[in-house]
Amino acid sequence: MKKRKKIREKGKVRLSKVFQEFKKGDRVCLVRELSQRGLFPKQFHGLTGTIEGKRGRAYMVRFKNGRIYKKLVIKPVHLKKLKG
């Protein structure tokens, strides 16, 4: 579990990360942004999932937790697009 940021990553979040766009079916990794308060369950940090749709500014992400598929509504600051 990540508890600290590297020295050059501290401070405000880049605007390109806040306003990044995803399409339905994109593969993403759930990465907790430490400078944002709350609204991200710690136990899902590092999991991968697919974008199901959009709800306001946030995205619905479907991922597998054990044997069960779950959906979370997460802001794009906490998402990282996977290649391929």
Q: What is the pLDDT of residue 51?
A: 97
We report the CATH number of the domain holding residue 62 as 2.30.30.70
For 51-81, how does the pLDDT look when each residue is reduced to its tens digit (9 = 90+)? 999 999 999 999 999 999 999 999 999 999 9
Q: Is 5 inside a domain boundary?
A: no
The per-residue DSSP string of 36-76 comes to S-S-S-GGGTT-EEEEEEEETTEEEEEEEETTEEEEEEE-G
Q: Is 3 inside a domain boundary?
A: no
Structural domains in the chain (count)? 1
For 3-46, how does the pLDDT look when each residue is reduced to its tens digit (9 = 90+)? 788 888 788 888 999 999 999 999 999 998 888 877 788 889 99
